[in-house]
Amino acid sequence: MKEIIKGSFQVGSNDNVSGILNTEDGSKEFNCWSSEFFNVESHSDIYGKTSEGKYISLINCLGNTGRHIFDKKTSFNAKIYSHLMIIGTSKILPSEDLFKSISLTIDNPERMIPRLSGFDYINFPNDELLSALKRQEYHEELEPNEGAVIAYFDGNFEIFNQETKIGRVSASNCVSTGGGYSINGVSIKNKVVVNINFEEPLLLEEAFERAYKLSLFMRFVSGSNLHFGEICLKKDCEDEHQELLVFHSNYYWGEDKKDRFASDPLVDINSEEFLRILKNWFDKEDRDTVRYSFYGSYFQEDYSPSRLIAVANLFDIFPKIIGEEKNKLPEGSPELLENLKSRIKTDLENFEAIKQSLLHSISKISDKSLKDRIFERISILEEHLTTRPLSADDLRYIVRKAILVRNFFVHGSQKDNLFKKVDPFEFQSLFIDTLEYIYGWSELIENGWSGENIKIWNEGHKMHFLEETIIGDLRMLKDKLKRKS
């Protein structure tokens, strides 16, 4: 939202504070002033009203009050920054109010939805259509002929609708018309709004958390810079005409910019397959932390050691299936290890640090390694890679090298022969791209992609771009290692 907002506020005990916010430049800074002293308590909520009588809720505020003296008169002012700003028909009490829904408007829906999705033109309509238009008789002066141009919306307002664990998720067309009855012409405009109706009313923080998770999923599926603009909330109350508009929040809702990944999404959102993936994705609540780590890397543009460490670590924190979290040891190994632990406890009784280090190592001996966990994700991809130029063996080859470099960035060890031939920083982009590629595809496949929808391999999508860069960088890595062998 971009506009200049003026209001009067109560800050502390002072209910005569004036303020202005210019959102046109993206600012979140409220400039406030009063002839009486007021104090902005850290992390407080501040409320006011606009000149039109709408409530302003500034949630979790920070600011400092200053004093100005001119001509023996004292005034006070402050710059107030809020984590969340909502304007509407009622004020927001974040620890008390319950909300039944939240909606997000997609500012650039063409990046998520195919171009031909219910809107089009008809030039030079045939006689049958012209006759039907004439029979409408909705405007006595309308006499269409063979040169008519017809802009239309097909009337399908619902795009998708699916029950999930975060609520009933739906997307719809919100169509508006303009012009008409004059020589200036007519128009059909549309906004795509994604809505979550909660099964049970939620507090403000949880409502935003669910909306944010949905936005990240849709940004990943779109493969390009999907951007969510207008955000609206509805309280759990009987007022059907309530209006609660979010002007800013501390969540990042994507950026609308031009890039080379403007393409069809990974999955056609008009398909049953998308609904299946959407449901399954949010059924797996235990993967939220892993997905945040993935998104945090996937949406970055710069490559760095910290990014490689982060994307590698997400495989380590991936939820473990009970009974499959450890490797099977050879027969007789448990007894041998117990005897070894007893010897260590006895023989190294006076060397506590060494004793504890050895006992810790033994306790982890059956744990699956990072390599094992990544290879498990590759096995999910394996059957779908048979028709691709990048094979599962290629991925395993890269992963072995990636783990060595990741360990160097974490521990500083350069003992492996790899580092005699390759600078650890040289191929970090290859390793990051590969780990993102493995996680992204394996997660999507596990959640219901059938392998029949060719859109998932769209050549303009970022995931396909990763495949191309991996193939090229892998060739360079192998050539370099071969030359220095």
What is the mean pLDDT for each group of 10 consecutive residues in the chain (485 residues)?
Answer: 78 88 74 89 91 91 86 86 92 95 91 77 87 71 80 91 97 87 83 96 96 95 83 88 88 74 70 93 94 93 94 88 54 67 75 72 67 92 78 94 92 79 91 95 89 53 83 92 80
Alpha-carbon distances of 386 from 34, 92, 141, 381, 463, rounded to whole Å: 70, 54, 63, 9, 17
* pLDDT at residue 456, as a whole number: 45
Element (H, E) at 216: helix 204-222
Identify how many contiguous H helices and E strands the chain contains and give both numbers: 12, 14
DSSP 97: -
Residue labelled with tokens 């993206």: 26
C-alpha to C-alpha distance for 156 and 120, rounded to whole angstroms = 13
Distance CA 238, CA 242 (A): 9
Structure tokens at 161: 């609708």
* pLDDT value for 216: 95
CA 51 to chain centre: 36
With the C-alpha atoms ordered 399, 303, 253, 78, is the resulting torsion angle positive or negative? positive
Whole-prediction pTM value? 0.85
Residue for token digits 């760095």? 304
User: Which strand (E) or helix (H) includes residue 75?
Assistant: strand 73-88
- Identity of the amino acid at 111: R
Q: From CA 5, how far away is CA 21, in angstroms rounded?
A: 5
List the chain domain ranges.
Answer: 4-88, 99-112+158-274, 119-153, 287-322+368-483, 338-363
Are 297 and 311 in contact, with CB atoms under 8 Å apart? yes
Residue 323 backbone phi and psi in degrees, to 5 = 95, -15
